[in-house]
Amino acid sequence: MIGIFDSGLGGLTAYKELHTLLPRGDFVYFGDTGRVPYGSRSRELLMRYARQDINFLLANGADVILAACGTVSSVVLDALKSEYALPLIGVVDASVEAALAATKNQKIGVIGTGATVSSGAFERKLHALCPEISVTSVACPLFVPLVENGYIGRDCAVTRQVAEDYLAPMKAAGVDTLILGCTHFPIISDILADILPETVLINSGSAAAKKVAEACGAQSGAGSASFFVSDSPVNFDAVARVFLGGETVKAKQIDIEKY
Ligand code: DGL
């Protein structure tokens, strides 16, 4: 059973890819919609949230867990790995490897939540693997509530306006590759691609999903997927349906504070 968690809808970018790669895999997904956004939380709070998210997935049979959240992956995942016996995979390593493989001009951009960008995790990893790379990082926190509230259409003027503003430094820096370091961001990748048409966009959720699929090998389960959230599922179900191309999700609400 593959467990996936995020603060909300963002982890669906990883689920979508995993579901394609492992159609017979079994998945349990948790979106912490009652406590989103994670990107403005302290390290202490993120530790507590991530432990509860992991404990919930363990209680529901997960034997490998993908932290499909750039914030958790950047800020607390390394510290948590020693607490758990099962494989805990984040989104940083896979995205960095994909970005280094894609760049031709050695100029890479990173966008993520405030916590992710302040942590410097992507930048550190990029420089560790390739010291001469130039990295431009920009925090884009407003994308998270826009996505959670369904402002995801390519023609959405509000999201486009915000994106123009956030991505201006990427244009100025001439990055040829941009890591979408928050898993919510690939949900609006049409808009981001319109603004940076020459730039390769790295989807951190799907890059990490490929790593998980490799680690799991061929799965021979029932092809099941169950979804859980920590607040009313109405909004999650509606946006998930659009993003997943019509797949009905029917998330159940749980009390994450019990875990
Ligand atoms: N999707 C998450 C991330 O990748 C969290 C966004 C948030 O809750 O602020 O960072």
Q: What is the pLDDT, as a whole number, of residue 246?
A: 87
Residues listed for the chain: 259
The pLDDT tens digits for 199-235 are 999 999 999 999 999 988 877 788 999 999 999 999 9
Distance CA 237, CA 234 (A): 5
Q: Which atom of ligand 1 is nearest to the CA of 91?
A: 4
Using pLDDT thresholds of 50, 70 and 90, give the confidence band for residue 59: very high
Q: What is the mean pLDDT of residues 83-90?
A: 95
Ligand 1 centroid from CA 217, angstroms: 27
Which residue of the set 69, 140, 156, 216 is catalytic? 69
The pTM is what?
0.95
Structure tokens at 147: 């996505």
Burial class (CB in 10 A: 0-12, 13-18, 19+), 87: middle
- Catalytic residue list contains 69: yes
The pLDDT tens digits for 115-126 are 999 999 999 999
The β-bridge partners of 242 are none
Q: Is 66 in the pocket of ligand 1 (CB under 6 A)?
A: no
Q: Is the pLDDT of residue 161 over 80?
A: yes
DSSP string, 57-99: HHHTT-SEEEE--HHHHHHTHHHHHTT-SS-EE-SHHHHHHHH
Distance CA 242, CA 94 (A): 26
